[in-house]
Amino acid sequence: MSGGPDSLALLLLANAARPEMVEAASVDHGLREDSADECQAVAAICAERDIPHNILRVEVPPGNLQDGARAARYAALQGWMQQRGLNLLATAHHADDQAETMLMRLNRASGLSGLTAIRAQRALVQDTVASSARSLQVIRPLLGWRKAELEMIVSQAGIEAAADPSNSDIQFDRARLRKALAQADWIDPLSIAQSADHLSDALEALEWAAEQEWSAQVHVTQAAIDYSPTAPKAVQLLVLERAFQRLGCASRGSALARLRDKLATGEGGNVGGVLVTVEGESWRLRREPPRRN
């Protein structure tokens, strides 16, 4: 947890609801000068309340710092949870986060997976390999709370929270959107958050349908994955996404949607290292062969 108002409010509420059953961890990515001091401040707040606290220091690889920091953070938290015998990881995402994320993704023409935004619960490790790590869950108990309410809780507890970091393009976009939402009093972030929750339910139904489609219409061999589509487009996209994952490749939703539209007209393509061709009534997916020098 950080020293921001959202995380601190979560700490206070969780400790009030489950006294002596809460532990906390702060991840120091080493990307900001004051990150170590913020972790120490959280440690002091926890010590005052007899809450066990650990500081997890991680190294973020070069490249996409946002993605790298997130991967390093969750890997460190997974190890900490397994070491401490914990199985639920609570994060402080709230209704304003949910609304902002959904609107940002709407502005980028995201599909259903993107518009579901922040789920109330998910597996910490999302893979197809059986392991004890898959039983670890991330929960977001504050999705029904507004940010202002959380800030009030921290303020009434007499705690001075750290300022939210704003040194990234994503945070800058969020700050602009947050300002716009504050000026549009006809928009209700709680209602937007509820809509995102409804979309999550719809996505679960589509994922169930995609599982049926995969079982009935997909044939996997060492050489390729053959898919004979019968389902609606939204389900086809989920099946294609799963096929890409099975081939060890990833593709953004928009690229996958464009590929599916080409396949529907009988045209193949090459996306994310996967060569896809139309073979009669089937779509064949296989890893792109290595290029010859």
Q: Where are the domains of the chain?
A: 5-192, 221-287
pLDDT 10s digits, 157-198: 999 888 765 545 556 577 788 788 778 888 888 898 888 888
Alpha helix stretches (DSSP H) within 218-252: 233-246
**Nearest Cα residue to 81 out of 59, 61, 56, 58:** 56
Helical ranges in 133-188 per DSSP H: 147-156, 169-183
CATH number corresponding to 5-192: 3.40.50.620
Judged against a pLDDT cut of 50, whether residue 253 lies above it is answered with yes
User: How many angstroms separate the CA atoms of 237 and 283, rounded?
Assistant: 12
Q: Which residue has the tokens 């044939």?
A: 219
Answer whether residue 128 shows pLDDT above 50.
no
Confidence of residue 254 (pLDDT cuts 50, 70, 90): confident
Are 42 and 69 within 8 A, CB to CB? no
**Residue 241: predicted pLDDT:** 92
Per residue in 69-79, pLDDT (tens digit) is: 888 999 999 99
How many Å apart are CA 91 and CA 141, to the nearest integer? 8
Give the span between the Cα atoms of 153 and 9, in whole angstroms: 6
pLDDT at site 134: 53
Higher pLDDT, 104 or 276: 276
Distance from CA of residue 177 to its chain's centroid? 20
Residue 269, strand partner residues: 276
Phi-psi region of 117 (alpha: psi -120 to 50; beta: other; left: phi over 0): left
Q: Rounded to the nearest 5°, which phi and psi values hold at 139? A: -120, 150
Count CA atoms within 13 Å of residue 128 on its CB side.
Answer: 6
Looking at residue 127, its amino acid is D
158 contact partners, CB below 8 Å, separation of at least 6: none
Cα(271)–Cα(211) distance, integer angstroms: 23
Q: What is the pLDDT of residues 222-243, one digit of tens each?
A: 999 999 999 999 999 999 999 9
Residue closest to 55 by CA, chosen among 66, 68, 70, 44: 44
* SS3 at position 283: strand
